[in-house]
């Protein structure tokens, strides 16, 4: 029996694998894809993660992330508000970052099962039995659920949010466009959504938007929706006309759910988006996933070995309350702020607020971001 099985190898899963393998536990991580691979994500990472990543020897200096120090918000007419970012951040593709952390986790002794999907997680005496695709089964004393926003694994645990339909879709491109600033993360409103643009490594930019399934149905294709909806915003219109696209097709996901989830479900400790997804406008989901990987590992190590049922109960309640304390308020503020995006009147209102009451932007950023850890 393994000590720890980590289900899903995004940021939360990989950081947990690194920390727990470093502490000498016998760790296996199951990931349904094979590194490196692309993911829908805005790829702007708050600098709050830098001290921690450096402390575990995992800040990817050599990948030369783009340094980001300014924020720009535009409404649908192109009216803009700008703010310097107190803490700042960096732009780096998930293709590079996740692959880098995967290599680190392997070096530290974590074992990987790639191209294997978690199908079911069942509690047994002293641990869990996990069913993987292709007929494989693994047993572990503890399972960390790090499978992201929405997965068949949520369905197998009968999590209620899984059955709720949502209108959100996410679309990501990597582009080159000479006129874009190097040091800025921008959010541009358009009918039904908003689009983030940020520089990443190798002279490329990430363009990633949260849009509406209804609008996509209305226009019939992504191209038509981009031309007619995104193109209403003059900034996006220029990018759509001038950019060269670095991949044949975009990454696309749907059924994005920002609703509440539990941090522990049937004994599985959830880390990252599987415990709750912050709205992308906050640009903080990746930092939260990294922080959650740290938090879950530290909490597990404080309660290890899990040799009694009472210790498991203690671990579950300690993790739930630590998770709530660190993340619950940020998720709530993110949900409320998102209501100001994607509508003509509301986005003009939010740009007006930021232009006229400069400290407000700072307050929202402080509420949706954590402190450096």
Ligand X SMILES: Cc1cc2nc3c(=O)[nH]c(=O)nc-3n(C[C@H](O)[C@H](O)[C@H](O)COP(=O)(O)OP(=O)(O)OC[C@H]3O[C@@H](n4cnc5c(N)ncnc54)[C@H](O)[C@@H]3O)c2cc1C
Minimum Å gap between C-beta 11 and ligand X is 4
CA-angle at 312, arms to 18 and 291, nearest 5°: 35
Q: Closest CB to ligand X among 11 and 66?
A: 11
- The answer to whether 30 and 130 have CB atoms below 8 angstroms apart is yes
Instruction: Based on DSSP, count helices (H) and strands (E) in the chain, helices before strands.
Output: 12, 17
Minimum Å gap between C-beta 37 and ligand X is 8
| Residue ranges in contact with ligand X by CB under 6 A | 7-13, 30-33, 39-45, 117-118, 146-148, 151-153, 170, 196, 208, 210, 256, 272-273, 277, 280, 283-287, 289
Q: Closest CB to ligand X among 44 and 304?
A: 44
- Longest Cα separation, the chain: 62
Burial of 141 (0-12, 13-18, 19+ CB in 10 A): buried
Burial of 183 (0-12, 13-18, 19+ CB in 10 A): middle
Minimum Å gap between C-beta 95 and ligand X is 12
Q: Closest CB to ligand X among 102 and 312?
A: 102
Q: Closest CB to ligand X among 26 and 251?
A: 251
Among residues 157, 156, 143, the alpha carbon closest in space to that of 269 is found at 143
Among residues 258, 263, 316, the alpha carbon closest in space to that of 285 is found at 258
Minimum Å gap between C-beta 61 and ligand X is 19
Distance between first and last Cα of the chain: 33
Minimum Å gap between C-beta 286 and ligand X is 3
Q: Closest CB to ligand X among 19 and 146?
A: 146
Q: Closest CB to ligand X among 127 and 148?
A: 148
Three-state DSSP class for 182? coil
- How many CA atoms lie within 13 Å of 238's alpha carbon, on the beta-carbon side? 9
- How many CA atoms lie within 13 Å of 251's alpha carbon, on the beta-carbon side? 18
216-251 exposure pattern, b = at least 16 Cβ within 10 A, e = fewer: beeeeebeebbeebbbbbebbbebbeebeeeeeebb
Minimum Å gap between C-beta 345 and ligand X is 23
Q: How far apart are CA 37 and CA 39, in angstroms?
A: 7
Minimum Å gap between C-beta 211 and ligand X is 9
Q: Closest CB to ligand X among 105 and 208?
A: 208
Minimum Å gap between C-beta 288 and ligand X is 6
Q: Closest CB to ligand X among 208 and 236?
A: 208
């Amino acid at each position: 029996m393994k000590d720890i099985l980590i289900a899903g190898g995004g940021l939360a899963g990989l950081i947990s694998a690194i920390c727990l393998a470093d502490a000498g536990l016998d760790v296996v991580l199951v990931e349904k894809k094979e590194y490196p691979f692309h993911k829908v994500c805005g790829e702007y990472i708050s600098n709050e993660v830098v001290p921690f990543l450096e402390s575990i020897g995992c800040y990817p200096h050599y990948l030369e992330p783009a340094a980001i120090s300014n924020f720009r918000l535009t409404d649908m007419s192109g009216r803009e508000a700008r703010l310097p970012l107190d803490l700042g951040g960096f732009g780096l593709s998930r293709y590079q970052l996740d692959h880098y952390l995967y290599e680190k986790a392997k070096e530290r002794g974590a074992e990987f099962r790639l191209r294997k999907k978690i199908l079911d997680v069942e509690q047994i005496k002293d641990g869990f039995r996990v069913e993987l695709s292709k007929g494989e089964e693994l047993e572990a004393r503890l399972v960390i659920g790090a499978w992201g926003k929405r997965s068949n694994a949520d369905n197998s645990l009968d999590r209620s949010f899984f059955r709720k339909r949502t209108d959100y879709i996410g679309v990501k491109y990597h582009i080159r466009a000479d006129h874009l600033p190097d040091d800025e993360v921008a959010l541009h409103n358009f009918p039904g959504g908003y689009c983030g643009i940020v520089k990443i490594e190798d002279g490329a930019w990430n363009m990633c938007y949260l849009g509406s399934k209804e609008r996509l149905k209305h226009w019939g294709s992504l191209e038509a929706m981009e031309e007619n909806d995104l193109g209403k915003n003059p900034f996006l219109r220029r990018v759509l006309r001038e950019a060269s696209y670095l991949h044949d097709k975009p990454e696309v996901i749907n059924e994005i759910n920002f609703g509440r989830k539990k941090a522990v479900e049937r004994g599985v400790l959830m880390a990252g988006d599987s415990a709750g997804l912050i709205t992308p406008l906050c640009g903080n989901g990746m930092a939260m996933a990294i922080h959650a990987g740290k938090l879950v590992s530290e909490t597990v190590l404080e309660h290890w070995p899990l040799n009694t049922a009472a210790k498991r109960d203690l671990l579950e309640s300690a993790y739930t309350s630590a998770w709530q304390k660190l993340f619950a308020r940020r998720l709530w503020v993110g949900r409320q702020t998102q209501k100001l995006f994607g509508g003509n009147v509301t986005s003009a209102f939010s740009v007006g607020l930021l232009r006229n009451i400069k400290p407000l932007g700072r307050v929202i950023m402080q509420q949706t971001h954590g402190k450096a850890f």
